[in-house]
Amino acid sequence: AQSVTQLGSHVSVSEGALVLLRCNYSSSVPPYLFWYVQYPNQGLQLLLKYTTGATLVKGINGFEAEFKKSETSFHLTKPSAHMSDAAEYFCAVTSPGGFKTIFGAGTRLFVKA
């Protein structure tokens, strides 16, 4: 069975500081991994995804994530936080050929001026 754990339900950073949102997964087969962002009163939108190939993937708005198989992690980073990055972020996992996507509990990012 697959599962996703997001460490920290809330993360607070100062504007301009590094953003690091943690995600660990459990999967018996090589997973497809995703990060989604949800702004207030909106649906989720895809930030980035890892399927195969390069383990460092770049997404929209300057975010990137690295797939580390040995650590079963897919942490999301951004070098410099912007006020507009304040939102909730969800990590998700799907198995190739699988029919279900499992979402983590979400991490709410606060950005202080």
> For another protein, which is the closer residue by CB, 22 or 49?
49
Residue 57, Cβ neighbours under 10 Å: how many? 20
7: burial class by Cβ within 10 Å (0-12, 13-18, 19+)? middle
Q: Which strands make up the sheet holding 3-7, listed edge to edge? A: 3-7, 19-26, 73-78, 64-68, 56-58
Phi-psi region of 31 (alpha: psi -120 to 50; beta: other; left: phi over 0): beta
> For another protein, which is the closer residue by CB, 50 or 81?
50
- Restricting to residues 6-25, which ones interact with another protein according to CB under 8 A? none
**Contact status: 2 vs another protein (CB under 8 A):** no
- Restricting to residues 22-61, which ones interact with another protein according to CB under 8 A? 32, 34, 36, 42-46, 49, 51
Q: How far apart are CB 15 and another protein at their closest, in Å? A: 27
86: burial class by Cβ within 10 Å (0-12, 13-18, 19+)? middle
Q: How far apart are CB 21 and another protein at their closest, in Å? A: 16
Among 11, 21, 23, 102, binds another protein (CB under 8 A): 102
Applying CB under 8 A, the residues found at the interface with another protein are 32, 34, 36, 42-46, 49, 51, 90, 94, 96-103, 105-106
